[in-house]
Each structure stands twice: as C-alpha cells, then as structure tokens.
Structure 1
Amino acid sequence: MGVGAGLLTLVAAYPGAKLAGVTDPLPFSVWLWFGVGLAGVIVLAVGWRTAGWWRRGTAVVAVALAGLVCANQINRFVGYYPTIDSAVNDWTDTPLPGQVSMSGLAHTAGTTKLPPVGRLVAVNIPATYSHFKHRQELVYLPPIWFRGERRPALPVVELIGGERGGPGDWVRLGNAVQVSDAYAHRHHGYAPILVFADATSRFDNDTECVNGPRGNSADHLDQDIPHFIEKMFGASHDPRQWAVAGFSMGGTCSLDLVVEHPDVFDHFIDISGDLAPYTSTPAASLHDLYGGNVALEKANEALLVMRAHGKYTNVNGLFLTSTEELRHQHESEELSTAAAKVGIWSRVEISPGTHVWQFAAPAFATAYPWLANQLALPAGPRHETRHTKPA
C-alpha cells in the first residue's frame, strides 16, 4: 500500500504543480520526498486503529522527517536560506548586516570623511497614495550620501523580489548591497540609492505589482516610494535617474512599471520575468489580480501598453534569463522585439542557470555597472510632468 500510495502521489504531484500554484519547476527530489511523506500519511491513517503504539510513533516520526527533508530540498534548490543562521535571523527579524535606524542615520550623515561602505536603513513609508498595507522596507544609501552637508541628488533603483518573499530578499539573497558597495569603492563612493520595496505586503500575496483585489501595489511602487525617497533622502526627481530591477515576479514588475509610468522610471532590469502579470492560470490571474476586470488586465500587459503608448524617449533595459528557462527566453525576445518598435532599447542576455536566486544574484551583479551608467544624468534638460494621484 505504501509503495502504491507513493507512486500515485508522484504521478499526481509532479505534473500537477501548476494546479497547486507552483509555476516554477522544482527538482524531482522535492516531489520524491513529498510523495514519501504523503504516502506515510496515507499508511498512517489506514493502519492507525490496528497498529501498536510504537508503530504509530515510528510512522509519525517518519512522516515528519520526510516533510523536513522535502522542505530542505526546496530550500537547497531556491537558495532562500543559505545557512541556519540566515533562517533564524529572518524568523526573528534580526537586523541585516550594516543596517541602522533612522535615528542612527542622523549621527553618521554630514561627515567630512567618505565612509568605506554604504548604510542600510529600515523605513516606514507612508501609503499616502496607495493605502497599501505594506511591510517595513529598506533603503541603501551609498557612501557619497554621507559626505558633506550638501548631498548630490542621487539616482534611485527600486528592487523587487519574487511572489513569495520580503523586502530583505535582495539584500540576503541578491547580494545587492555588496554589489553596490563594490561599485562605490571603484567610483569614489558614488552609487545609486537602492530601495528594497515591498510589492506584496506579506509572504504569500502575489500582487504582480498591479492595483487590484490584493492591494494597490502599483500605486505604492510608483507613487508612495518615489515621493518619500525624494523628500527624505534628497534623491533625484528626474525619471532618467530612476530604475526598477526585479527577479521572477519582480522582473515582470520592472518592465510593466517602466512602460506604464515612463514619467517616473526610465530603466529596467527584468530577470526571469513573465510576458505579463500571471498567477497560476489565465482565469485565475484575471480573477485574483483584477477581480474579473478585463480592461484592467489589458492595461497591465506590457505588450498592449507599449503598443497603445507609441514612441518612448530615453527608456531602456535588459532582459536577463537562464539557459534552463526556455519559456522565459522566448518571452524575453518577444518583449524586446516589441519594445524596439516603440523606441525602447533593450538586450536579451542568457546565462547558465535556472529560475533561482543563485542565478539572479550574479546576473544582477553583472548588469549593475550598465544600469549605473544609464542612471548618470545625460546632457540636456528633460521636461516631463510626473502624474501624481490624489492622496
């Protein structure tokens, strides 16, 4: 019975991942241990009445161990917790390395000596325009921000993670702070401000960065955050100096936010994003993200948005995907071709890897100098009014 239950589970679970909302492929070892665990549960339920206490206890332990191994296999694959310490620190909300409070930030600003590294500060950004119930977010300030009383109006990059995660993922898993510090070290302390944004409000709330039943995520990203960062940290107001970069869901968001709001953002790095905002199936996406509103869905599909908008100015970006992601490769090429028709320069880059943070982190590190160069203000004024929604 146990073998039969295990085989049945594997047959049902492996191709049925999409039905469970798991749209990214998991290795066979995950489904193997999932099958073992579920088989144990079935055997335990069927034989509970007739089994002795020691068999019951052994079965319970075996099921628990199978579940633990399955969870560990998933973690090894996605790289979400590289070490036990990183898991404990995340669960206990331990401050990230280099993180300071807003009050601590005031004591370090205005120095005459350039700090060796930047600082990470936790911020509570008012949801003035979106009313989006987001979590605490993080801002990286490069060394140049701390020197002198008159700070330069620095460029900004919003960083968005996957559908399941939090604002700190780009710090813990994407190594974005180390990448930026290394760049600043080579450029006399200069680097963009990084905003580690919360696009989902909680771990399992896949908003795809749109306004809808799951919250006004788009308004938070293109209204709340820019206004706060510009006012609090003296950042640039120029869309030529604002960018969005993201992985997985965040990759989809990066392109969508730029083509929908070129008055706010001009540059994107789309790492393994989808063709359009998507949850598990087309019907589920329409329901979950837009409450069944087809017009709203079309207003958030990059291909349709670009076609309706027409010619863009000074907008560019990168599509980064891995050798194992054939669908993402095709979709990136399709998006890049459509972008070129409306004046958006882009390039598709394919590197070894698969749809995991172990691929996204080095891909971002490689693309970072290109992005920093794009954010350097070009010659000549640009007059474009930012469209602000009523608070």
Structure 2
Amino acid sequence: MFLVPAAWIGNHWWRRITGMVAVGLTVVCLGLAANQWAGFYPTAGRAWQGLTAQPLPGQISFATLSHLRGNPEPDGKIVPLRTSDSVSRFHHRTEYVYLPPVWFAGDVPPRLPAVVMIGGVVTTPEDWVRSGSALQTVRDYAATHHGQAPILVFVDPTGSLSNDTECVDGPHGNVDTHITKEVRPAVISEFGASDRPGSWAVAGWSMGGTCAIDLTVEHPDLFRTFLDVSGDVGPNLGDRAQTTSTLFGGRAADWDRFDPATAMRRHGPYCGVGGWFQSEGHRHHGSGLTSPQIRATQTLSTVAHEQGIDVVVRPVPGRHNWQFAGQAFTDALPWLMARVDAPN
C-alpha cells in the first residue's frame, strides 16, 4: 500500500510536479551558465571528476613515492602535500604537488625549480588541473625536454569557495604567511626542491594573478618570477576604503604593504626579477584591445619596468575564463622554465 501526501491529492498535483521540475532545471541551467562563464569544466568527464571529488589524474599517496624511485614515470605524479598551519593558523584544504618524470630518475631527487599555482576567488586547489589543463601542459613540456619540468605546487588560497582572501594576511586568513612560511618550506623539505629564490615562481589567474605579482614583488628573497594572468591592479574587495576595511580590518598600513605598485616602489629597484603579464580583452571601435585586466596590466607593467623588473606584456583577445588561463600557462611555460631553471 502506498501513502500519498494529502497535499498532492487533487486535480492540480501535476502543477506541483511541474514546479519541482522547473526548480531543478533552473538550478541546472544556472550551474551550466556559471560553468560557461568561468570555464570550470571543459568536458563532461572533468565535470564528473570534480563534482564527485575523484582523485586527480596520476595522483598517488605520499607513502607510495619511495617505492617509485628509480622507475620510469613518463607522465610524472601528483601527490597530496602535507602542509602545516601552525604559523599562519590558516585552515586550508588539501594541497598538491606535481612531480615531473626527472624527479623519479635516481636514488635522490634533483633540486628542481618550483612554481606555485593559484586560482581565482571561487577556487579549489584542484582547479588548475581540472579546469586550467596545467597537468597536460607540463606533461607535454616534460615529454619534449627529456622529462625535465618544474614541480608544480597547487595551493589553497581561500580555504573555502566563499572566502576572498586575495592572498594577503588579514581577517579572511593569513594566506601570504601560509604560502611563504608553510608551503614553500614543505616543498623544499619533503620533495627536495631547490631553495634558491631564482628557482621559484608564482603563477596565477584572476585573483591568483594578483597574488602572483604580489607575492613576488613583496618577497623577492623567495620568488623571482611571476605569471600574472588577468589579475587586478591590486587586492580589492571594492574601492580602497572598502578593501582596507574588509580585507585588512581597517589597517591602512596593510593596504600599502600588499598593493603591488606601492610594494614595487618601496622595494625597488629589483635585480633578477621577471614577470609575464597576459590579459584578455576586446576591441573597442577599431582600437586596440581593452578591458579592466589589460588596464591593470598596463599600470603594473609600467611600474615594474621602472623598478628594474624584466617584463613581458601580452594582451590577447579572449574571455575571462579557465580556458584563457590554461592557454596563458602554455604560452608562458617555456619562458618561465628558462628563468627558473637557469643558474642563479
């Protein structure tokens, strides 16, 4: 015997079913629209992997690593990174590293360069792999360079999907401290990465692009190269007053500390620091490409050049999405490797 709720009995039960179906379809359509705008999942397969929290391609446990030394690993491996929060008190999600084929070649891993990879505001540490195709890009590079490639470090810059930190230290989390004092030392100690500042780079898209230039110009003793893909002119949650109040708890000195242009003028002139800016734009009445990100690039690249930073500036037609970010990483990787892999 089946029990039917009384509210469903009557001539209009079909309207209730239709309403529920409409709500479900609305949610699905909103999700598809968001995915189309940001390009989170370029294929249905990647969408399924992300939404069901499947392991990343080539992911293994940390305990398995020791058994793979000396064995050919033509694609490299992804391993969860055991990072502390004892210094920053920033509660982060699981972070990951990609280890290239050359890492597995001998009894002792070589002192490889490393690139910190940072996504946008609504992000997870997996996004550069699932949405930005960074794993395929670095595998392709390794395949044509005898297994040589950088260690990629996929960090968590937000701790959740609703926490805009801009990678600074503040009420939303001490992310600058987490990356510089917890992530970087962990990669060096656990995976034998080079500890030379010239062997370290930061790459990011959207908010992550702002993070990339900020971390580098504020900490040239730790990072000497950045890839800023479609970043803003500086950390922001609105205008300067709103950003100072919300992001820095009202501390104007912290706005000065983390504003890239201010930081460059304070720290400069730099020596041995380089940056690649790549931002999307559209043509306006037959003129050159324009967008808020391109205007930010123009401002920051000018200050960077004035302060002795070697800059590459690439305005490119496109949209503000993960596909653009992935292509920018592909474009910049040879240049980036020429810098971080060079003697310094």
TM-score normalised to structure 2 length: 0.91
* Distance in structure 1 (CA, Å) of the matches to 2:21 and 2:140: 47
Q: After superposition, give the CA deviation of every residue in 1:203-223 in whole Å (9 maximum; x if it has no partner).
A: 111100000001110001111
Shift of 1:105: 1.4
Residue 334 (structure 1) aligned with residue 294 (structure 2)? no
> Which residue of structure 1 lines up, in the alignment, with residue 210 of structure 2?
252
Aligned equivalent of 2:257, options 275, 299, 316: 299
Shift of 1:159: 0.2
Residue 357 (structure 1) aligned with residue 315 (structure 2)? no
3-state DSSP class of the match of 2:315? strand
Residue 92 (structure 1) aligned with residue 57 (structure 2)? no
Structure scoring higher RCO (CA < 8 A, sep ≥ 6) equals 2
Aligned equivalent of 2:152, options 180, 187, 194: 194
Which range moved further: 121-130 or 138-147? 121-130
* Distance in structure 2 (CA, Å) of the matches to 1:284 and 1:56: 44
* Distance in structure 2 (CA, Å) of the matches to 1:222 and 1:125: 12
Q: After superposition, give the CA deviation of every residue in 1:43-74 in whole Å (9 maximum; x if it has no partner).
A: xxxxxxxx955444434433432332122122
> Which residue of structure 1 lines up, in the alignment, with residue 195 of structure 2?
237
Shift of 1:360: 0.9
* Distance in structure 1 (CA, Å) of the matches to 2:242 and 2:23: 32
3-state DSSP class of the match of 1:100? coil
Structure 1 stretches lacking a partner, 5+ long: 1-50, 380-391
Aligned equivalent of 1:321, options 279, 283, 296: 279
> Which residue of structure 2 lines up, in the alignment, with residue 388 of structure 1?
none
* Distance in structure 2 (CA, Å) of the matches to 1:73 and 1:177: 25
Q: After superposition, give the CA deviation of every residue in 1:95-148 in whole Å (9 maximum; x if it has no partner).
A: 01110100111111233xx42111111122112321211111110001111011
Change (3 A) 1:65 1:280: farther
Which range moved further: 66-75 or 101-110? 66-75
> Which residue of structure 2 lines up, in the alignment, with residue 7 of structure 1?
none
> Which residue of structure 1 lines up, in the alignment, with residue 8 of structure 2?
none
* Distance in structure 1 (CA, Å) of the matches to 2:318 and 2:255: 31
Which range moved further: 156-165 or 347-356? 347-356
Aligned equivalent of 1:76, options 17, 21, 36: 36
Counting aligned pairs with the same residue, the percent is 44
* Distance in structure 1 (CA, Å) of the matches to 2:35 and 2:339: 35
Q: After superposition, give the CA deviation of every residue in 1:291-319 in whole Å (9 maximum; x if it has no partner).
A: 11111111100111111112111000111
3-state DSSP class of the match of 1:279? coil
Q: After superposition, give the CA deviation of every residue in 1:172-231 in whole Å (9 maximum; x if it has no partner).
A: 111111111111111111111110011111111110000000111000111111111111
3-state DSSP class of the match of 1:203? coil
* Distance in structure 1 (CA, Å) of the matches to 2:201 and 2:338: 12
Residue 372 (structure 1) aligned with residue 332 (structure 2)? no
Aligned equivalent of 2:178, options 206, 220, 225: 220
> Which residue of structure 2 lines up, in the alignment, with residue 103 of structure 1?
63
Shift of 1:237: 0.8
| Equivalent residues, number | 327
Change (3 A) 1:322 1:219: same
Shift of 1:266: 0.2
TM-score normalised to structure 1 length: 0.80
> Which residue of structure 2 lines up, in the alignment, with residue 18 of structure 1?
none
Structure 2 stretches lacking a partner, 5+ long: 1-10, 283-289
* Residue identity opposite 1:210 in structure 2: V
Within 5 Å, give how 1:115-154 maps onto structure 2: 115-154=73-112
* Residue identity opposite 1:204 in structure 2: S
CA contact under 8 A between 2:82 and 2:186: conserved in structure 1?
no
Aligned equivalent of 1:183, options 141, 163, 182: 141
How large is the Cα RMSD of the aligned pairs? 1.7
Q: After superposition, give the CA deviation of every residue in 1:331-389 in whole Å (9 maximum; x if it has no partner).
A: 1011011011111111210122110011111111011010011112336xxxxxxxxxx
> Which residue of structure 2 lines up, in the alignment, with residue 308 of structure 1?
266
